[in-house]
Amino acid sequence: MNFILLLAFLSFCALLLYLLSVSFNRRRPPLPPGPKGLPFIGNLWDVPQAEDYPWRTYARWAATYGDILYLDIPGNPTVVVNSVKAAADLLEKRSRNYSDRPDFTMLNLMGWGSMMGFMRYSNWWRMHRRMFQQYFQPRALPAYYPVQMKATLVLLQQLYKSPDAFVHHIRHHSGYTIMRTVYGYDVDPNGDRFVGLVDRALESVRIAGNFGDFLVDYIPTLKYLPRWLPGAEFIRLAQAWRKDVDDMSEKPFEYTRESMAKGLAPPSFVSENLTKMQKIEVADTPMHLEIIRNTAAVAFAAGADTTVIVILSTVLAFLLYPEVQAKAQAELDAVVGHGTRQPIFDDRPQLPYIDAIVLEAMRWNSVLPLGIAHRTVKEDVYRGYYIPAGATIIGNAWAMLHNEKDYPNPLVFDPDRFIPRDGKERQPEPTVVFGFGRRICPGRYIAVNTAWIAIASMVSTLSFTKAVDSEPSETFTSAVFSFPVPFKCTIKARSPQTQALLD
């Protein structure tokens, strides 16, 4: 009898909850439109996989559902934002509510949770952000010019002497700039242990960096599965990757601390912050050490791929659009002279076309096509649509930067779109590539400068043409960091004058 009463009571409670849910759903505004899901699993099987270029899929869906669309994913309601207007309204103007991050369960298992870009919106994140911004704010940039100039000179000589290894040389250039600035360490151009460390660590992000690439992101309790259980392969992968991430964070940091102990450390982000910490006798030393180590690691990791992608995309564009290279060389010859010297940062105001090339390279191939996912702190209503609390918000930077209304012929590499002429305004700068609102990339200024001086110097001294019997493809990888697919090219000194300068 008691069992029957209990069953009746539970049935009544279930009915009451259902009626309350129906009543609430009738009162609240509708969710944004999106693909019709299946019972119980919603849109779980509709979410495009990383290898399927999800940013292109979301951009196509926008034509049907509008610039904000909803995916009903069990335990993880997701809103995809496909336009600059909606991104500005939500992620910029309402940034207090949209600056959080999802839990990134897989990335946390891999050891990336201590990286500022993936942290939840909190005081812990603010302490990291404040330290980073103090060192890499715009007024601090001239202090890094000598390092960037030296790294670029080495890049030019390497490209001239062994052009077939141009990808390696460009990666070394980026690694040298970051390692010298952050750790005071000189990278070995013939193959460096620390550059190898960050490469191995970043390989895991390239595979698992997009939220939802692994089911555990949607069902976090899966992380408690025993390693031996079928389907728990992701746990074994995460543990293997975690060692590389920990090494990337710890080993360069310890190198700088040891150099300081010997009195051999040049000025760097780490050495200056450690010295500052000692001078003010910080009470909570372990916490401040962790912040310095974490912030240095995120600068190291974030700078390793981003500038490489921009420079490689520019080289690819020179092969596919030789008129762009010719126009850039003419501008540099007029300002710098042909084969007289290397371009310097003081030349930049007189080189608007080089600026336009850098902007177009970032727009043409978005470094992070889907950015890093945001999360709502509380529920919201936008354009009459209901956005749940705790929803994952994906800003589709690729769709925004390939919107034909803002960028006519968006698949064409055309730096002139950023040059005002004939009374026409220039097209919008591709700032969305750096993220949105309070989570915008704080290292964007030094990253753009590093790419700018490299591209200006390469164009001034070298000539890039298609390799014999090899046609480069205007295709990019579908990982979280989108690289040009491997291609070949021929690199030579532009003339006897530039050859003499390189020699």
Rounded Cα distance between 367 and 430, Å, is: 11
CB contact at 8 A, 292 and 131: yes
Strand bridging mode 462-466 / 392-395:
unpaired
CB contact at 8 A, 309 and 439: no
The residue type found at 273 is: N
Rounded Cα distance between 73 and 220, Å, is: 13
Q: In a 3-state reduction of DSSP, which class is residue 466?
A: strand
CA-wise closest residue to 216 among 76, 393, 353, 338: 76
Q: How many whole angstroms from its chain centre is CA 87?
A: 17
Tell me the helices (H) and strands (E) count for the chain, helix number first.
Answer: 17, 8
CB contact at 8 A, 91 and 393: yes
Structure tokens at 233: 């392969």
**489 appears as a binding residue in the annotation:** no
Tell the residue number behind the tokens 């006897």, with chain if given. Answer: 496
Q: How many whole angstroms from its chain centre is CA 277?
A: 30
Rounded Cα distance between 180 and 451, Å, is: 16
Burial class (CB in 10 A: 0-12, 13-18, 19+), 376: buried
Element holding 410 (H helix, E strand): none
CB contact at 8 A, 416 and 356: yes
* DSSP character at residue 230: T
- Which parts are annotated binding residues for heme? 441
- Which parts are annotated binding residues? 441
